[in-house]
Amino acid sequence: MNKLILWNFLIVVIALNNMAEASLPEHPVCGVHTGDSTSATTEFPWTAHIVYTKPGNKKGIHCRGTLINERYVLTGGHCVRKLPKTFVLSHVKLGGINSANDIAVAEIIPNENYDAASNNNLNDIALLKLEKDVQFNDKVQPICLPVDAADRKVDLTSKVLKISEYEHSKTANNVEVYEVPKNDCKVYYDTQKISILDSQICAGAELARNSCKGSGGGALMKYGTSAKSNTQHFTLVGVSSFGPRMCGTIAEPDVYTRVSDFMDWIVSKVN
């Protein structure tokens, strides 16, 4: 009987892994940037600009997200739950901020444990299910996720990470950032009575920049190899959550939701 239970358990585990692989693409389908990845202004093809309808039928982009397969965009919980009551999330814009590639959002799926009233934005992650499948091309591609267990445990402290920032300009500002050790991050946020937990990543750039308001929900990316691919590609490691008034630096870091901690949740929803 015990052997039968163990066998059934293994079948379920294998089935879940296969479901994850089937629903979430792997390199080279994902994580490929055909543009100049070293450019400071080239937009990444998985960037989703989240469009809100405001009073007077005005449209505005106040958050970003990341395309993870042909039907889903990953973003921050605060982008769907911490909204002015007059804002309605209507669609996403793919293929560039000036693109006409607008796709309606069919379903908004915030993490069930996200608390919009908390000051540390714990579990700040959400999925947007699109109304129709996305057709991939050189300007619209999904990013890779840490599907494999080995990729979920990668130490980011020695890695150069990338983020894209937007403010009033319609041009992306790609910045290299570095993970800030949790204890150092806690020293900064303890002064504001904000708890930083293991499911969050702190990161900042070496130099201060202008305000990056409007980049919430956007991607914190790692460029490198993975457990199943020795070819360099981009993997999503964090979702922009909150930070200081100005863009985060190593001394005053931004906080991101750690994607690897939510992979089981993501897989359960996209399936």
Within this chain, do residues 165 and 207 fall inside the same structural domain, yes or no? Answer: yes
H or E stretch at 179: strand 173-179
Within this chain, do residues 133 and 157 fall inside the same structural domain, yes or no? Answer: no
Within this chain, do residues 107 and 181 fall inside the same structural domain, yes or no? Answer: no
In this structure, is residue 246 part of a structural domain? Answer: yes
Within this chain, do residues 195 and 248 fall inside the same structural domain, yes or no? Answer: yes
pLDDT of 134: 96
Within this chain, do residues 125 and 199 fall inside the same structural domain, yes or no? Answer: no
pLDDT of 5: 42
Calculate helix-pair angle for 263-270, 2-23, nearest 10 degrees: 80
Give residue 212's pLDDT band: very low, low, confident or very high (50, 70, 90): low
Q: Tokens in use for 243?
A: 């930070």
Of 119, 141, 163, the domain-final residue: 141
pLDDT of 173: 78
Number of domains in the chain: 2
Domain that holds residue 211: 149-261
pLDDT by residue (tens digit) across 3-29?
444 434 333 343 444 444 448 999 999
Of 141, 167, 195, the domain-final residue: 141
CA-CA distances (angstroms) from residue 97 to 63, 94, 248? 12, 7, 23
pLDDT of 160: 67
Of 141, 174, 199, the domain-final residue: 141
> Is pLDDT at 248 greater than 80 in this prediction?
no
User: Averaged over 225-230, what is the pLDDT?
Assistant: 83
Say which residues have a Cβ less than 8 Å from residue 126's Cβ, sequence separation at least 6: 74, 75, 76, 77, 79, 80, 81, 108, 109, 110, 111, 114, 217
CA-CA distances (angstroms) from residue 69 to 74, 103, 213, 242, 250? 10, 14, 26, 25, 32
pLDDT of 211: 47
For residues 43 and 164, is the Cβ–Cβ distance under 8 A? yes
Within this chain, do residues 163 and 253 fall inside the same structural domain, yes or no? Answer: yes
Mean pLDDT check: name the lowest of 80-84, 197-201, 247-251.
Answer: 247-251
DSSP character at residue 132: S
Domain CATH number, residue 165: 2.40.10.10
Give residue 36's pLDDT band: very low, low, confident or very high (50, 70, 90): low
Within this chain, do residues 114 and 172 fall inside the same structural domain, yes or no? Answer: no
In this structure, is residue 71 part of a structural domain? Answer: yes
Within this chain, do residues 81 and 118 fall inside the same structural domain, yes or no? Answer: yes
Within this chain, do residues 176 and 196 fall inside the same structural domain, yes or no? Answer: yes
User: Averaged over 235-245, what is the pLDDT?
Assistant: 91
What pTM value is reported for the model? 0.88
pLDDT of 267: 96
User: Averaged over 139-145, what is the pLDDT?
Assistant: 96
pLDDT of 136: 95
pLDDT of 145: 96
